[in-house]
């Protein structure tokens, strides 16, 4: 039986552990935190928040993989009445429909955007500057970057199409992502995976078989002592609020004048907050020179427009900055293939949302975890044959 060590017990780490155990390997997972889940953890207590807006996109391979193993669990669908309360902030006012020029970029007949041109340049030629700017800012819901228009046109186009597909791809596990993580952990446990929490790893284990490093890229860089493990990511101000319930509040507000998104998560899942309260989260991408206060101020402006009297209804509030923890973004001339490679040599493999694997959001973590395990087992099998 092969042994694989997985460092990091988040979505990527648990995917790698389950995949390796299903293939017959003996697996040990080390997680520095006291609970599993990584960024997919759901906060304990009366307000079930995630670190940023979390959704499962049904168009990705991880959806099929999770569903086959009965790991998704009950979903919290968005009621049609709530979905009709999506608002778009455009030209300083809330609107119900996007500018027509923006819709031109979503036509099936639209040509494939190039990798080596920034999105604003390409989209402006396709739909004009106003439509391009609105589309770029809307795409921030799936890439968390302060200037989506400066990124690779192909990168942004893929996320824009996925975010605006009808029927919607985004689905929400009832009870938050912790419900999915709990089911994944239970499956790993039943497969014999050994999971060690509160176990920070400061150096890569040697002579114990392949190692999958399923941490943030920053943590992997420190652990492996490899300064090349860097990639561009987003930086986002997060604002979590609990408000006393009021009929007529918006379901979500997408800012088309600047990147930003506010969503009332209890619109689809009332279990996330106590009865009579609504849980709202704003994610506002901020530039390197901007502060958390800058992002919070923009979020509050959107709240003023869409949630009447929210300050008087406020019962709980939390603010944070997600710095370099929002997945990879690709600049013009680069694609996922140019990110840090999964195979680091000497039996060490990377998994996570900033490495060389395709997909949108958590799909990158999933795809890289599967590839890391496939490479690890294939190489181990070759070694076994060599010494047979």
| pLDDT at residue 41, rounded to an integer | 87
Domain spans, the chain: 3-41+177-231+333-387, 81-173+233-328
Q: Are 3-41+177-231+333-387 and 81-173+233-328 the same fold in CATH?
A: no
Tell me the two tokens of residue 175: 């009870």
| pLDDT at residue 131, rounded to an integer | 95
Chain centroid, CA 225 distance in Å: 26
- Each residue's pLDDT tens digit in the chain (388 positions)? 589 999 999 999 999 999 999 999 999 999 999 999 988 888 888 999 987 667 888 988 899 999 999 999 999 999 999 989 999 999 999 999 999 999 888 876 678 999 999 999 999 999 999 999 999 999 998 888 999 999 999 999 999 999 888 888 889 999 888 899 999 999 999 999 999 999 999 999 877 899 999 999 999 999 999 999 999 999 999 999 999 999 889 999 999 999 999 999 999 999 999 999 999 999 999 999 999 999 999 999 999 999 999 999 999 999 999 887 678 999 999 999 999 999 999 999 999 999 999 999 889 999 999 999 999 998 655 544 443 3
Whether the pTM exceeds 0.85: the reply is yes
The answer to whether 319 and 279 are in contact (CB under 8 A) is no
| pLDDT at residue 111, rounded to an integer | 84
The answer to whether 26 and 3 are in contact (CB under 8 A) is yes
Which SS3 state, helix, strand or coil, does residue 115 take? coil
| pLDDT at residue 1, rounded to an integer | 56
The answer to whether 237 and 292 are in contact (CB under 8 A) is yes
The answer to whether 50 and 216 are in contact (CB under 8 A) is no
C-alpha distances out from residue 371 to 27, 29, 68, 141, 212, Å: 16, 17, 19, 27, 10
CATH superfamily to which 3-41+177-231+333-387 belongs: FAD/NAD(P)-binding domain (3.50.50.60)
Q: Where are the beta strands (DSSP E) in 80-203?
A: 86-90, 93-95, 170-171, 194-196
Tell me the two tokens of residue 16: 């790698």
Residue with tokens 């790698």: 16
Count of alpha carbons within 13 angstroms of residue 41, beta-carbon side? 14
Total residue count of the chain as it appears in this document: 388
| pLDDT at residue 109, rounded to an integer | 64
Q: Does domain 81-173+233-328 have CATH number 3.90.660.50?
A: yes
| pLDDT at residue 387, rounded to an integer | 39
Neighbours of 87 (CB within 10 A): 19
| pLDDT at residue 211, rounded to an integer | 96
| pLDDT at residue 383, rounded to an integer | 45
Beta-strand pair 211-213/3-7? parallel
The answer to whether 254 and 98 are in contact (CB under 8 A) is no
Which SS3 state, helix, strand or coil, does residue 132 take? helix
| pLDDT at residue 296, rounded to an integer | 97
């Amino acid at each position: 039986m092969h042994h694989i060590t997985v460092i990091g017990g988040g979505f990527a780490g648990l995917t790698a552990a389950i995949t390796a155990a299903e293939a017959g390997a003996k697996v040990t997972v080390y997680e520095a935190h006291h609970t599993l889940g990584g960024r997919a953890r759901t906060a304990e207590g009366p307000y079930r928040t995630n670190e940023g807006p979390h959704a499962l996109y049904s168009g990705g391979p991880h959806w099929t993989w999770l569903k086959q193993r009965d790991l998704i669990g009950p979903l919290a669908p968005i009621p049609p009445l709530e979905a009709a309360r999506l608002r778009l902030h455009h030209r300083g006012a809330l609107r119900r429909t996007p500018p027509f020029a923006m819709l031109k970029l979503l036509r099936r007949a639209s040509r494939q955007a190039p990798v080596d041109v920034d999105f604003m340049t390409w989209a402006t030629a396709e739909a004009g500057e106003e439509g391009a700017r609105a589309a770029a800012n809307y795409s921030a819901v799936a890439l968390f970057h302060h200037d989506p228009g400066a990124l690779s046109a192909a990168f942004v186009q893929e996320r824009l199409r996925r975010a605006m597909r009808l029927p919607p791809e985004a689905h929400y596990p009832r009870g938050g992502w912790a419900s999915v993580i709990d089911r994944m952990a239970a499956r790993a446990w039943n497969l014999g995976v050994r999971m060690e929490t509160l176990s920070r790893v400061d150096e890569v284990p040697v002579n114990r078989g392949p190692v999958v490093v399923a941490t943030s890229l920053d943590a992997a860089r420190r652990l492996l002592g490899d300064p090349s493990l860097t990639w561009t990511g987003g930086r986002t101000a997060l604002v979590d609020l609990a408000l006393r319930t009021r009929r007529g509040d918006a379901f979500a507000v997408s800012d088309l004048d600047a990147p930003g998104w506010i969503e009332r998560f209890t619109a689809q899942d009332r279990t996330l907050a106590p009865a009579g309260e609504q849980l709202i989260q704003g994610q506002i991408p901020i530039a390197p020179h901007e502060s958390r206060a800058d992002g919070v101020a923009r979020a509050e402006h959107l709240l003023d427009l869409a949630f009447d009297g929210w300050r008087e209804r406020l019962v709980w509030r939390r603010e944070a900055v997600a710095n370099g923890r929002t997945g990879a973004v690709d600049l013009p001339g680069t694609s996922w293939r140019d990110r840090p490679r999964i195979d680091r040599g000497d039996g060490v493999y990377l998994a996570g949302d900033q490495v060389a694997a395709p997909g949108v959001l958590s799909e990158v973590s999933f795809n890289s975890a599967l590839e890391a395990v496939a490479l690890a087992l294939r190489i181990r099998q070759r070694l076994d044959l060599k010494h047979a």
